[in-house]
Amino acid sequence: MEILNKKERRNSFLLFLLMLIITLGTLMLGLFFNNKLPWKENAILRKENKQVQYELNYQVRFSQELKILNKAIDSLDKSTDGYFFIEKSINSDLVDLRRRIPKDSLKNHKLYDDMVLNYKRLLDAKSIVKRVESSKKEIDKLNETIQDYEKDIEELERALELSKRLNRN
C-alpha cells in the first residue's frame, strides 16, 4: 500500500521546514542584533566616559593650580619689596597654565581660557591699585611738603614785614 498524497505531504513538509528556518533565522538575527548593538553602544559609552573622566581630572588639576595662583595674588597685597618679581612670576605661571590647556580634548576650552584671562585682568588691576597707592602716598608726602613750605613762606613774609617796619623806624 502506497501513500496517495505523498507529493502534497512532501511539499507541506518542505514548506514547514522553510517556515521553521525563516522563523529560527529571524529569532537568531534578533538575538544577534540584541547582543551586537549594545557592544557598539557600550564602546561609544566607554569612550564618552573616558572623555568625561579626563575632563573632570583636568578640572581638578586646573582648580588646584588656580588656588595656588590665588594665594600668590593675595600675597601681592602683603609684599612690599618683591612686588614686581612676584607679579612677573604669576604672569609666567598664567602663561604656562594657558599653554597647557588642551585645545582639542576639552569641550569647554573657552571656559578655561577665559578663567586664565580673568586672572590676568585681576593681576593687572592689582598692579594698577598698587601703583595708585604708591602715587597717593607720594602725593600725600608732597602735600605735606607744600604745607611745610607754605608755613615757612608765611614765617618769612612775617619776618620780612617785621624787618620792613623796623627799617622804617
More confident residue, 106 or 132: 132
Using the predicted structure, report yes or no on whether residue 2 has a pLDDT greater than 90: no
Per-residue pLDDT at 8: 92
Chain mean pLDDT for the chain? 88
**Set of cell numbers at residue 57:** 581630572
With 80 as the cut, is the pLDDT of residue 31 above it? yes
pLDDT value, residue 121:
93
Higher pLDDT, 94 or 81: 94
Question: What amino acid occupies position 109?
Answer: H
What's the rounded mean pLDDT across residues 51-70? 91
Where b means 16+ CB within 10 Å and e means fewer, 124-137 reads eebeeebeeeeeee
Give the torsion sign (CA, 155, 158, 160, 162).
negative
**Predicted local distance difference test score (pLDDT) of residue 1:** 66
Mean pLDDT score, 15-26? 96
Look at the block and give the residue holding cell 588691576: 125
- Calculate Rg over the CA atoms of the chain: 44
Instruction: Yes or no: say if 113 and 97 are a contact pair by the CB < 8 Å rule.
Output: no
